[in-house]
Amino acid sequence: MKSRIIASLIAAFACTYTTARVSGQVVQASAVIQNADPQKFVIGDWYDVSVQRQGVSLKTSGVLLQMTDDWLVLADVVTATQEKKTGTPVLMYLPYIGSSFRYTKVLVDNTKNYRWVPRNGMLVDRHTTHVEEKNKLIFPAGDQPKFGDQVLINYVRDGKPAKFGAEAKGEATEARFRELIKTVPFDDVLIVQSQLPLTAAELKLLKAK
């Protein structure tokens, strides 16, 4: 069983299924999906899902990139902003007039987030064809999921949610997958996550939209 699931995770990087899109369709699920028919999922659509293991539930969402009999791969771009106070050195600290030389700079950080979601024990909370433009640009049809410097495994331990981080630099080879999966009992896995910054070309795409 474990070897079959491992093979399915690896195959998620190589196999892409295409299905017909229904414009404007929104689907609400009412039951846990057990090895659901792949035709019910649409590559490029947005899914909000919950994963349930041993009484523990974890929610996530994203554009559907790939799927196998055992896994869905979801992805999205997360945009975070941070305000940084700066100004003209020395002058910005002068009493009374210093405020005239200070200003607030807004820093924007865009990150690609990938989630590997086990289909057994997964509930589709919402399915819609509406996808934000930034996600359409960064995750085109047929795009391959990637690993950043680290992979975060969300799982269940003693009936409670837990996390385990593993280094994942370099290519996502079969050997590296096998080593990663060994760290946690596979039946306890909720969601596997990884993130990485956008490339210069991808940032250019976002600025041009």
Residue found by looking up tokens 């405020």 in the block: 99
pLDDT tens for each residue of 40-81: 889 999 999 999 988 899 999 999 998 877 788 899 998 777
Q: What span, in angstroms and rounded, lies between the C-alpha atoms of 167 and 165?
A: 7
Cβ atoms of 151 and 193 within 8 Å: the answer is yes
- Please state, as a whole number, how many other Cβ atoms lie within 10 Å of the Cβ of residue 8: 18
**Beta strand 122-128 pairing with 102-118:** unpaired
Q: What span, in angstroms and rounded, lies between the C-alpha atoms of 82 and 158?
A: 37
- Residue 180 vs residue 97, higher pLDDT: 97
| Crossing angle (nearest 10°) for helices 2-11 and 174-181 | 130
Cβ atoms of 63 and 129 within 8 Å: the answer is no
**According to the model, what pLDDT value does residue 17 have?**
35
3 state DSSP class of 186? helix
Q: Which of 35-39, 83-87, 143-147, 197-201 has the lowest mean pLDDT?
A: 35-39
**According to the model, what pLDDT value does residue 86 have?**
76
Burial class (CB within 10 angstroms; exposed 0-12, middle 13-18, buried 19+) of 105: exposed
Cβ atoms of 83 and 20 within 8 Å: the answer is no
Domain residues of the chain, as ranges?
A: 2-78+112-208
